[in-house]
A and B are shown apart, each in its own frame.
Chain A
Amino acid sequence: MTELYPYPRFSLAERDRRWKAVREKMAEQNIDVIVTPQNTGHSMDFQANTRYLTHCGGGGDADIAAVFPLNGAVTAIATTADPRWTLTQDWTADVREARREYGRIIVERLKELKVERGRIGITGLGKVEGTRTPEGTILHGTYEKIRAAFPEAAIVDATPILTEVRYIKSQEEIDVLTRSMEIVELAYQAEIEAARPGARDWDVWAATQYALMRNGSEMPVHCNWISGKNVRRTLTRPSLRLLEPGDLIINEVEASWIGYRSQGVQPVFVGKADPVHQELIKVQREVFNRVLENLKPGVTVKELAELTVKTAAAAAPKTGPAAGARGDLNMHGRGAGDDGPIITAHAKSPQQLGVALRENMVFICKPSAIAADGQSLSTWGDTVVITKNGGKRLGKRPHDLAVSAG
């Protein structure tokens, strides 16, 4: 047998746990088979279901679909399937060649499973909202091939099944997310070291990306970023501007370890910190810690949002730059990609807000403290695990503003 690539992997016990959990839900809903379509969008987040079930994935253009039957062999469908995905994992033996015609091979496998009059679940169908995909992830051409080949089958949206199962992380998954967070914090060290006055914003980003990869992260990963005077919202890239003393770099940095992405949010000041932010981070820290204490099973995301507002109101000083500061909760699942539930300044759907926390859910928790005039915003975040006794941080860095050498 050819040796597997030296690459971190999950155990076969983890595979069996996942498959059992998904099949239990399929049986409850009378679903014969689930198709998880190929889609390499959003830093590969949109293909997380396939990787979750098959252990095949990684690399920015590795389209892989899966056919996951209630009974029988699980099939991964990829281009240049062998050796690309036969040598990286030991979960899925049936890895088929697509030659980029994914719909054709999905149909082939579905026919073998004899589901002509059955119930076919498709994740990312767009009929049930995904965390970041209200319109789904399956591509038109692929869907049409399945629909045309199975006119008498019931096609249903299986997004909720995978979403629900993936909410709760095993110890193996939490260990992997812990490693991912270690890498994120190593990247922050590199960022702080590089963020000197006169450095190009892009170079600081390069140092951060370098540290991610050198320490084992896959690419692509989400790495939102912006620098400037008192910046408030990140975008997907830096610019070629030169950093000046007093600039603020804000970011959302993720590392992908076996496809699992923890996230950090770390404000970095160049040379000297803004006095308003020095006050705001105190309010933000108070809010974060209160939310962390309350990250317990049964609490809903909506309740945490309300707690954020109340805590900030109580923590904000009566005078000074942070007087009247308000709080706002940003928080969403972390794991193999596009994990829910989500609450952000804009994403506040009742369905997501109504999700009650459960033990071993993992989130990026990143509440903001916003100055009364709305002109300054302090956000700091860490990846956290829900435990019976409250949230547990996966990161270890100090909860504070970072200031680079001047």
Chain B
Amino acid sequence: MALEKPIIPTFSLAERDRRWARLREEMRRARLDALISLPNQGHWDQFSADTRYITQIGGTQTEVGAVLALEGEVTAIVRGANEIEWWGLAQDWVKDIRPSRRSYGEPVIERLKEIRAERVGVVGLGGLVRAPEGIVPWGTFEKIRRALPRATFENATELMQTVRSVKSAEEIAFIEKAAEIIGHAIEALIAHAQPGARENELIAELLREIVRRGGEPITMLLFGSGGPEVPWAQRVFTTRELKPGDLINTEVEGKYAGYIAQALQPIVLGPKPKELEKIFAATKVIFERMLKFLKPGITFGEVVGFYQEQVKSAGYEPDGALLHGRGLGEDAPMLWGARADFPEKNARLKEGHVFILKPACRQGFMRDSIRAGDTVAIEAGGARRLGKRELTFIAK
């Protein structure tokens, strides 16, 4: 009996053609015959972002790689026959889907030989924001290099990041959907946050809402509870019972068809501590001002400078990650609030950039801080928030 077509969110063929045309334009400029993207499901699937961008195949820890030839068929490489059948029905971008039986080197070599590739770009070979040493498995890459001794291999990470950083309207619509999902999940969290509830139960509420709304569950949910200091939002969910007066600190992401929107929501189970209330209010003002400031053409250096000026005039110190790209994962750049000099300083904001913007205000030693933040898209006329929640420090 044939499988019925799986119903999952997918992009149009026009979106496929746009991406492939942009990548091939950059490949021509770099004189590359092919791009290869090798499987890595690390970092909540975010290390698979490049393959998913090319093929639309991936997510929920799917093992998949890709070969994008300068001309001709794009090849996806999956584990076995059942993935070929399912993904062959679930998406209409890639027809050439090959099995690997988890030995991914061979089908990549086979495809590179078919297209007689001499200069091959390897995406993720090094220089990613959260993986400076790259995400390419050594054993797979060595196998490919040995089999193709005459080919040269170049790091194509930046090429891919350049193309991916500018999102289409379809991509922004997916990120907006992800923002809607995480907004609902935060509402569920607020509803269930009370003394006696356990941390893992609250994470479960967040996750249930994410999945119920069509989001993917392999997503970043950083969470911390306690006090009187702001608790560290961390990865290990504890079974700690919440107590009156506890603070809840979150950095959580909704994910729709792999596209990520991030949100932050501080909650206190009791009266708001005065100092934190002031800090949150200051970050909200700065967030709103930055939203007006961000527009195509200004440099990232100007963005950080504006933030630092705002923070200092509010009587605080800059701190933490100010903004970083959001999309399929591992999106650049990452701008740190307290740094004045960084490699992207002179790069300019472009229409289609999407960021999580989360300005922090530090006052003395703080292990972590609470702040207003949301995912924003840069449009022709300026920045637009993709979330619809009111940015508040909730007291229950």
Contact = CB atoms under 8 A, between A and B. Distances in A.
Interface of A: 5-8, 39-43, 46, 58-63, 83-84, 88, 100-103, 125-127, 132-145, 202-203, 205-207, 209-214, 216, 218-220, 222-223, 226, 228-231, 233-237, 239-241, 346-347, 375
A226 to B, nearest CB: 8
Contact of B138 (A41, A136, A211, A228): A136
Interface in B117-174: 125-126, 130-143
Contacts of B217: 205, 209, 219-220, 223
A42 B61 contact: yes
Nearest to A134: B103
A100 B47 CA distance: 14
A63 B42 contact: yes
A210 B207 contact: yes
A24 to B, nearest CB: 27
A100 B129 CA distance: 9
Interface stretch (B23-31, B235-243, B275-283, B306-314): B235-243
Per DSSP, chain A at the interface is: loop
A239 B127 CA distance: 35
B105 interface: yes
Per DSSP, chain B at the interface is: loop
Given A7-B236, A84-B235, A230 B40 contact: no
Given A42-B41, A218-B237, A346-B80, A139 B136 contact: yes
Contacts of A5: 236, 238, 240
A366 to B, nearest CB: 16
A174 to B, nearest CB: 21
24 contacts: A41-B42, A100-B130, A100-B131, A139-B138, A140-B134, A141-B125, A141-B131, A142-B138, A145-B133, A205-B217, A206-B212, A213-B201, A214-B201, A219-B207, A219-B221, A220-B44, A230-B1, A235-B62, A235-B86, A236-B59, A239-B7, A240-B214, A241-B7, A346-B101
B375 to A, nearest CB: 18
Given A100-B131, A140-B125, A228-B3, A213 B203 contact: yes
Contacts of A39: 40, 42
Contacts of A58: 235-236
A208 to B, nearest CB: 9
Contacts of A102: 133
Given A143-B138, A240-B214, A101 B102 contact: no
Contacts of A218: 236-237
B104 interface: yes
Contacts of B80: 346
A209 B208 contact: yes
Contacts of B141: 140
B235 A62 contact: yes
Nearest to B212: A206
Contact of A6 (B44, B134, B238): B238
B235 to A, nearest CB: 2
